[in-house]
């Protein structure tokens, strides 16, 4: 019995830690897509910028807190840079530019070794209170810290999307012509949404770096962006609560299915593909029977008209 607890508790802690990081990462995308209707296929780029900035600032001697803030600000700034040329155009341009940007960025991280150590990755950077917390309890501490951050981000976003500001975002998602006919500066609101969404992804990047204590460019493959999309669709587009639950469900599923291959005649590689097939199937079933997601409102379903 005791042994089970010893194995199970760290395991659950791990799932919750990963879930909380994915939840925050996806909350950023949910602001962009769920509330504003922006199609961002390169969200992972901002995760990478947040992670690398935080880590590199810290390695050059800045305190952790300052490094994290730098990561958040720089992610938001890159959101601004990408938004300025694309957000005046149709939605699909942002999708194309962002997915391109995230891949270009990954190759820069891979090739500019003088800056990022390329494929060798970076480790040995500081983690929050690592000298104070005993090593065996460190993940528990990190989990508590991350849950606190998640709660703060959640309530911050809830306040925003329920404010008149959020109402303008939703109106842009529905029909930007109406928003501008009513005197709203559509471009500026889209830009704000992209900047904040990217900054939140940057925060998630810093959290990811602290948790895995090692980052390399392959941590930031395009699939991470689509994981966030799955989480949002699963949980319910335009629902922050749904996004958090979606992250939990998704991460639990990914993790638990790692054990199933004991019962299935698959190699590890095949198992990875099999998991994606199952996820795809589940999403299809979800779309057929509950297209608005777990917590989404049917009336606000952003996928149909």
Partner 1 sequence: MKMDILSVKDLKKHFDGVKAVDGCSIAIETGTVVGLIGPNGAGKTTMFNLISGFERGIGEIVFKGIRTDNLSPFKIARCGMVRTFQIPRALTKMTVSENLMLAPKTQLGERIWDVWLHPKRVREQEMQIREKSRDILEFFEISHLEGEYAGALSGGQKKLLEMARAMMIDPSMMLLDEPFAGVNPTLARKISRHICELHEDGMTFLVIEHDIPAITKISDRIVVMNEGKIMAEGEPAEIKQRRDVLEVYIGGER
In the chain the beta strands, taken as DSSP E runs, fall at 122-123, 214-215
Angle at 42 between CA 111 and CA 70, to 5 degrees: 70
Closer to partner 1 by CB, 17 or 186: give it: 186
Closer to partner 1 by CB, 127 or 170: give it: 170
179: exposed, middle or buried (Cβ count in 10 Å: 0-12, 13-18, 19+): buried
Give strand pairing partners of 122.
215
Nearest to 98 by CA among 232, 224, 3, 6: 224
Q: Quick one: tokens of 105? A: 């960025």
Closer to partner 1 by CB, 35 or 57: give it: 35
Closer to partner 1 by CB, 179 or 219: give it: 179
Q: In the bound complex, what is the minimum distance in angstroms from residue 187's beta carbon to partner 1?
A: 9
Residues of the shown chain interacting with partner 1 in the complex, contacts defined by CB under 8 A: 159-160, 163-165, 167-168, 170-171, 173-175, 177-186, 192, 196, 299-302, 305
Q: In the bound complex, what is the minimum distance in angstroms from residue 188's beta carbon to partner 1?
A: 9
Q: Quick one: tokens of 31? A: 């602001």
Q: In the bound complex, what is the minimum distance in angstroms from residue 296's beta carbon to partner 1?
A: 11
SS3 136: helix
Q: Which position has the token pair 């990875």?
A: 272
Closer to partner 1 by CB, 2 or 182: give it: 182
Q: In the bound complex, what is the minimum distance in angstroms from residue 109's beta carbon to partner 1?
A: 31
Rounded CA-CA distance 294/305 in Å is 19
Closer to partner 1 by CB, 54 or 193: give it: 193
Q: In the bound complex, what is the minimum distance in angstroms from residue 35's beta carbon to partner 1?
A: 11
Closer to partner 1 by CB, 3 or 299: give it: 299
Q: In the bound complex, what is the minimum distance in angstroms from residue 76's beta carbon to partner 1?
A: 12
Within 13 A of 251's CA, how many CA atoms are on the CB side? Answer: 23
Q: In the bound complex, what is the minimum distance in angstroms from residue 115's beta carbon to partner 1?
A: 33
Rounded CA-CA distance 238/248 in Å is 17
Compute the Cα dihedral for 257, 40, 46, 205 and give only its sign: negative
SS3 182: coil
Number of other CB atoms surrounding residue 276 within 10 Å: 14
Q: Quick one: tokens of 168? A: 């303008």
């Amino acid at each position: 019995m005791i042994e089970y607890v010893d194995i199970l508790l760290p395991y659950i802690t791990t799932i919750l830690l990963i879930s909380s990081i994915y939840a925050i990462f996806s909350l950023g995308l949910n602001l962009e897509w769920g509330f504003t209707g922006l199609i961002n296929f390169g969200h992972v780029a901002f995760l990478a910028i947040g992670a690398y900035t935080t880590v590199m600032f810290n390695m050059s001697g800045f305190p952790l807190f300052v490094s994290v803030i730098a990561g958040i600000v720089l992610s938001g700034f890159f959101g601004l840079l990408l938004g300025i040329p694309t957000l005046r155009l149709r939605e699909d341009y942002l999708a194309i530019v962002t997915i391109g940007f995230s891949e270009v960025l990954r190759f820069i991280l891979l090739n500019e070794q003088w800056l990022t150590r390329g494929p060798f990755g970076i480790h040995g950077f500081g983690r929050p209170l690592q000298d104070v917390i005993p090593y065996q309890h460190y993940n528990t501490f990190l989990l508590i810290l991350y849950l606190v951050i998640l709660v703060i981000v959640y309530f911050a976003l809830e306040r925003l999307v329920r404010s008149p500001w959020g109402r303008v975002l939703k109106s842009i998602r529905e029909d930007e012509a109406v928003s501008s006919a009513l005197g709203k500066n559509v471009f500026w609101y889209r830009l704000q949404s992209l900047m904040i969404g990217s900054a939140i992804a940057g925060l998630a990047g810093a959290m990811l770096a602290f948790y895995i204590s090692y980052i390399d460019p392959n941590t930031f493959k395009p699939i991470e962006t689509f994981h966030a999309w799955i989480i949002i669709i699963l949980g319910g587009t335009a629902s922050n609560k749904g996004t958090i639950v979606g992250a939990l469900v998704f991460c639990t599923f990914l993790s638990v299915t790692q054990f199933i291959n004991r019962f299935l005649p698959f190699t590890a590689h095949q198992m990875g593909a099999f998991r994606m097939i199952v996820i795809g199937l589940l999403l299809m079933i979800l779309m057929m029977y509950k297209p608005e997601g777990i917590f989404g409102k049917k009336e606000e379903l952003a996928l149909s008209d």
